[in-house]
Amino acid sequence: MSKTIDGALFRETLGHYPTGVAVVTAVADDGNLVGMVVGTFSSVSLDPPLIAFFPATNSNSFAYLRTAAAFCVNVLASDQESLCRQFATGGAGKFDGVCWRPGPLGSPILEDAVSWIECTFEDIRETGDHYIVVGHVHELAVARSTLPLLFFQGGYGRFSPGSFIATPDPDLIQAAQLAEAIRYRVEDLSSELGVNCGILVKIRGDAVQVLAANGGSVAEPFPLGHRQPIIPPLGAAFLVHSTPSEIEAWLQRAPEDGHSRRDLYRAQLNKVRECGYSLLLAAEPGLLQRQQAALSAFELSDRLPRHERAVRQATSELAAVFCPDLLPSERYDLASIVVPMSSRADLPPMAIRMTSLPTSVTTQQIEFWIRRLQEVAATAGRPSPKGDGDRYAKNR
């Protein structure tokens, strides 16, 4: 008698086993292209050369794919997540905009995949609610020796070598140097206004704090050097000079159900571009607390995908309190003001952020803070006026 296993527990437990991600492609017997994403691809035997993957018995894509004479397993690279999503949806249009060439047996080889393995069907065996498909390998090659896309706990990621040699990040070093050059200005502003001021740099998908001047009354929740994933609507200040593909990559970090909010995020980004700052209201403290709690759990968990999803969700909800229109007669509670810094192409995107602000402030007061932040931001990357060095030395 077999014990009943809870489905959720089964998925949860097996989801802790990481897999690579492959797209199995073929030309079906009616001449149409077919493809499906599998995480179940595996090497089976060297002699004879056999591989396997496990499609669900109810998979429409596989029902079609098995009519082909041959198929190709394309191992996806870490920068092919959007291609993966395109192939993981049901229905037609999976090959729209996809570059491919035919393999020796005619199956589509996808451009930019790490490797491809073209096979004929050796065996298709039904086991439980899946098939075990064994393929006989005819041709194979590594097309692009790069990092593969990985799937773990329902989220995508990439391999990071467990080397003890830390890779220096030139952007981070450059940003820290630039921040250091205007340190006293930021510190002066922080103590003069009684607020916290920090300089942040965008390193890949994260905002990293490289300078902190904590003259405010509330302690900063995250230390210097803290990395926070940039998820819409946050991070717009880093994207004011970005290319469409960088903006697309930012939008893709919104939660999957956030597609309906894409237009709102774009509009909010355009607003930040036009006015040169972003504001986050503290009006609904629950929203901010949830986002910070999700971020803390994400950090403590070594950035596991399930916690990343919680951060994505909680951050996207901040759209409701991001960049409001300021009315002259109103008073506001602000969580932060962020102003973009240098637009130099040789520097990473940077921003200066003000937090721990007094409550119930007027629009005039906010506009004054913004101007002061913009003045400091504008000095970044410029040569220091004479005397700055002395002053900095005195302050130490």
Ligand X SMILES: Cc1cc2nc3c(=O)[nH]c(=O)nc-3n(C[C@H](O)[C@H](O)[C@H](O)COP(=O)(O)O)c2cc1C
Q: Which residues bind ligand X (CB under 6 A)?
A: 21, 36-40, 54-56, 59-62, 88, 90, 151
Residue nearer to ligand X on the CB measure, 86 or 268? 86
DSSP type of residue 233: T
Minimum separation from the CB atom of position 274 to ligand X (A): 38
> Residue 379, class by beta-carbon neighbours within 10 Å (0-12 exposed, 13-18 middle, 19+ buried)?
middle
Q: What is the DSSP string of 235-273?
A: TGGGGTT--HHHHHHHHTTS-GGGGGGHHHHHHHHHHHH
| 153: CB partners within 8 A, 6+ apart | 15, 16, 304, 305, 306
Residue nearer to ligand X on the CB measure, 39 or 324? 39
- Residue 132 pairs in a beta bridge with 125
CA distances in angstroms from 232 to 79, 211, 254, 267, 332, listed in the order given: 20, 23, 6, 11, 22
Minimum separation from the CB atom of position 42 to ligand X (A): 10
Minimum separation from the CB atom of position 50 to ligand X (A): 17
DSSP type of residue 163: -
Residue nearer to ligand X on the CB measure, 51 or 272? 51
Report CA 125 to chain centroid distance, whole Å: 38
Minimum separation from the CB atom of position 59 to ligand X (A): 4
- Residue 178 pairs in a beta bridge with none
Minimum separation from the CB atom of position 126 to ligand X (A): 13
In one-letter notation, the amino acid at residue 144 is R
CA distance 202 to 224: 14
Residue nearer to ligand X on the CB measure, 82 or 395? 82
Residue nearer to ligand X on the CB measure, 37 or 281? 37
Greatest Cα-to-Cα distance within the chain, rounded to the nearest angstrom = 85
Residue nearer to ligand X on the CB measure, 66 or 185? 66
CA distance 370 to 364: 10
Q: Where on the phi/psi map is residue 106: left (φ > 0), alpha (ψ -120 to 50), or beta?
A: left
Minimum separation from the CB atom of position 230 to ligand X (A): 24
Minimum separation from the CB atom of position 21 to ligand X (A): 5
Residue nearer to ligand X on the CB measure, 32 or 217? 32
CA distance 88 to 13: 22
Residue nearer to ligand X on the CB measure, 62 or 277? 62
Minimum separation from the CB atom of position 74 to ligand X (A): 13
Residue nearer to ligand X on the CB measure, 14 or 166? 14
Minimum separation from the CB atom of position 54 to ligand X (A): 5
> In terms of C-beta distances under 8 Å and separation of at least 24 residues, what long-range contacts does 44-49 make, across chains too?
44/134, 48/136, 49/136, 49/137
Q: Where on the phi/psi map is residue 219: left (φ > 0), alpha (ψ -120 to 50), or beta?
A: beta
